[in-house]
Chain A
């Protein structure tokens, strides 16, 4: 062992001690992002919104291709035929009763989808979390008996909806089990919990998750995936504007 080699080992040891864990926050988040992106998908599910006026369930069918092409069609009675199309950074809404196509831009994207805790911009979010957030590893925790990493994400700019996110990431399967979303001053706004997981194409993903609005007591949105197929061939025409009014 040369002096040089010894020096390198010492250095490595020093660094691994300094960073306590073998994995970095960036690596965890990158792994989570990778687990939630598919070449294509076709799914169906439900959004259940609970607020002080009661509960409302909307069902949908969704298709996606790549990271930024997707189509959602609502199938529940009240909003049957309403569609949301995302192509690139554009978002379109289609209302069948009025046969009306609306392009959402700017501040309009911040409106809520069907009165839920989800907004249209949530659907156009960058697929790479690390592009918008700085990640630091805060520690470990046990959620429902599962060992999780606690990763704190701090928004790089003011254009991210949540200035601070804290995510609990399953250490084995790299799926988010719980998230806490807060203002820059640290006031918690929303809490997300994964209620059920499923296995798709060999990776774990949330089957049912619930977002609670911490400011509006008793108000929450549950998102449930009933079925999903991934990496299936989908025609490009499916995501065209013409297709919306069909």
Chain B
């Protein structure tokens, strides 16, 4: 108690220096909290938009398809999707089959003003797709194709904009069927979706799965079965359950989580997270240097006093506690101010957000967020920042204190 009082009183002695150091730490912590909130918000929203529009929670593929996934090989499709779907439904999860294949959209000049072609991935979906995905609410124009409609396709709005397609545009789809034969068919854009997931908006081409089955010669086979896992359940554990259940049914299939499917996104997130750790690290370096310097000056100015206390028989342990406490208090003060500023920044990020529409349209940041980047609250980040700021500040004092305590008492006394 006495030591704490001493530390507080010692701090009050260099108000200016203490405040400057604390404010530096506070700015750092506030910045970290703001960036962290932004990244967390983007991550939460991205995950939701990935699951809702891109990957679902879990997906069943054949092992061979997964190994060759770059080519979207129809030859490695799931031949008997029905029993798998039934097994998953029986376990209480929503599941739909889909077929994804690579194709070229051939655009004629009569329709588009110039000849062109565009390699795309086409997703063929069934009527029940809405039990897993949420495209229903994203339709911006036109309509969805009907079951069995042979020539209706739906495009992501940005893709449509890029190629100059509108509802009613007709084009040719050229692809290779299961086995490798060439196929080409006429298609008409019947609808456009405007989806909060920019990757989908930029690339989506959808058609009916029955039509695709006929064109591609699938004979009932599909490339994947996509599964919805409710938020309250843990995706990994459901993955294990399903793997178990399916292994006896069809040994050629694997169950993948959205994380396996969205490697690109995870890589981005972890690199961004790396960035925020770097900020954190830099902040702590700044804090450490600031505190270290402040304490070094304090130790120097108070050399005589320290020598006196040591002469009086004050144990090293108590001296350490006293000075580390002093440094930690600067950190605590900085953290407190930083948390208030950080909370304000986070509040702004959560309520208003930063409008990135000017860059998200053309720049793939990896995040699956629409125009406004919003923050999220993270109690743990606040705790980490505050505890980290305080503890590290204390630790930054170690070197100056050790230096002060190493010097012989007598020389310090002489300096008086």
Contacts and interface: CB of A to CB of B under 8 A. Distances in A.
Interface of A: 52, 106-108, 110, 121, 155, 157-163, 181, 183-185, 187, 189, 215-218
A187 B184 contact: yes
A133 to B, nearest CB: 12
B75 interface: yes
Contacts of A108: 68, 71
Given A108-B71, A216-B106, A162 B181 contact: yes
Contacts, number: 65
Interface string B13-55: 0000000000000000000000000000000000000000000
A218 B76 CA distance: 34
A217 B180 contact: no
Given A160-B180, A183-B184, A215-B174, 9 more contacts: A52-B115, A52-B116, A106-B71, A106-B75, A106-B76, A159-B180, A161-B180, A163-B181, A163-B182
A116 to B, nearest CB: 15
A216 B171 CA distance: 12
A215 B184 contact: yes
A163 B216 CA distance: 12
Interface in B141-156: none
Contacts of A181: 182
Name, among A52, A161, A185, A216, the residue most crowded by chain B CB atoms within 10 Å (CB to CB). Answer: A216
Given A106-B73, A107-B71, A162 B182 contact: yes
B180 A158 contact: yes
A161 B182 contact: yes
Contacts of A184: 181, 183
7 contacts: A106-B75, A110-B176, A158-B217, A161-B181, A163-B181, A183-B182, A216-B106
A163 B217 CA distance: 12
A158 B182 CA distance: 9
Given A106-B71, A106-B73, A217 B181 contact: no
Given A106-B68, A215-B106, A189 B179 contact: no
Q: For the side of the interface on B, what is the size category?
A: 20 to 34
Contacts of A216: 106, 115, 117
B73 A158 contact: no
Contacts of B117: 215-216
Contacts of A163: 181-182
Contact of B181 (A160, A215, A218): A160
A108 B71 CA distance: 7
B172 interface: yes
A155 B176 CA distance: 14
Nearest to A188: B184
B100 interface: no
Nearest to A121: B180
A158 B68 contact: no
A181 B184 CA distance: 12
A26 to B, nearest CB: 22
A163 to B, nearest CB: 5
Nearest 9 Cβ contacts at the A-B interface: A158-B179, A107-B71, A107-B73, A159-B179, A217-B115, A215-B106, A158-B181, A163-B181, A187-B184
A184 B184 CA distance: 9
A10 to B, nearest CB: 44
Contacts of B183: 183-184
A157 B73 contact: no
Name, among B72, B108, B174, the residue most crowded by chain A CB atoms within 10 Å (CB to CB). Answer: B174
Contacts of A121: 180
A158 B176 CA distance: 10
Interface in B172-203: 172, 174, 176-185
A217 B108 CA distance: 9
A157 B108 CA distance: 31
Contacts of B76: 106
Nearest to A187: B184
Contact of A159 (B68, B109, B181): B181
B360 to A, nearest CB: 29
Interface string B103-129: 010101100000111000000000000
B136 to A, nearest CB: 32
Contacts of B116: 52
Contacts of A185: 185
B115 A107 contact: no
Contacts of B115: 52, 216-218
Contacts of A218: 115
A160 B109 CA distance: 31
Contacts of A106: 68, 71, 73, 75-76
Contacts of B71: 106-108, 110
A3 B108 CA distance: 67
A169 to B, nearest CB: 22
Interface string B80-109: 000000000000000000000000101011
A121 B179 CA distance: 12
Contacts of B108: 217
Contacts of A217: 108-109, 115
A181 B181 CA distance: 11
A107 B178 contact: no
A107 B178 CA distance: 10
Given A52-B116, A107-B75, A215-B117, A158 B184 contact: no
A155 B177 CA distance: 13
